[in-house]
Amino acid sequence: MFAHDIRPAIIASNARGTTLQTMPQPDFDVLTYSRDLEASGLSRQQAEAIARGMIHMLAQQLDTLVTREHFDVHMARIEQRFAQMEQRFTQIEQRFEQSDHRMDGLDARIGRLERTQAAHTVLLSIITIAVLIPLIQSAIAS
């Protein structure tokens, strides 16, 4: 009378590929439930309608259930994605460390250039004074 298979199939991926698995069927005997309803005073038609409604409700609810294996497969995927993200962050950190090392080298070079520029400024000032003093003395003397 109530030959409904309310076990939805789920698809799970594992390392070997995709497999089709059937979720466990809930322990619900429709015929016994219908008879119990009838024994409690409901008509046969009412009892069967309620039992069919229960089957329909269970079928809808089973679509949202997750088996432990299905959950574990998805958790493994999430863990794998986190591992990949961690690997990417490690690579980014290494690139930042390389950039920091390069920046340290550039800072050292800029420091040397600034010292060289300061020395050149002092030397040019001495040369300018050495050239200007005799010119000023000759202009004053004339």
Q: Name the residue ranges covered by the structural domains of the chain.
A: 1-65, 67-142
The answer to which of 24-33, 54-63, 87-96, 127-136 has the lowest mean pLDDT is: 24-33
**Tens of pLDDT along 11-44?**
444 445 545 455 555 566 778 888 888 898 989 8
pLDDT at 67: 81
Mean pLDDT for the stretch of residues 54-60: 82
Mean pLDDT for the stretch of residues 116-128: 95
Half-sphere exposure of 104 (CA within 13 A, CB side): 6
Residue that is written with structure tokens 């690139």 in the block: 95
Is residue 10 within 8 A of residue 21, CB to CB? The reply is yes
The answer to which of 28-32, 73-77, 102-106, 115-119 has the lowest mean pLDDT is: 28-32
The whole-chain average pLDDT of the chain stands at 82
pLDDT at 8: 43
pLDDT at 7: 44
Mean pLDDT for the stretch of residues 61-74: 82
Mean pLDDT for the stretch of residues 74-99: 95
pLDDT at 3: 43
93: exposed, middle or buried (C-beta count within 10 Å: 0-12, 13-18, 19+)?
A: exposed
Mean pLDDT for the stretch of residues 108-114: 94
Query: In Å, how far from its chain's centre is CA 52?
Result: 44
Q: What is the pTM of this model?
A: 0.42
pLDDT at 48: 87
The helix/strand/coil state of 8 is: coil
Name the residue type at position 139: A
What is the maximal distance between C-alpha atoms in the chain?
Answer: 139
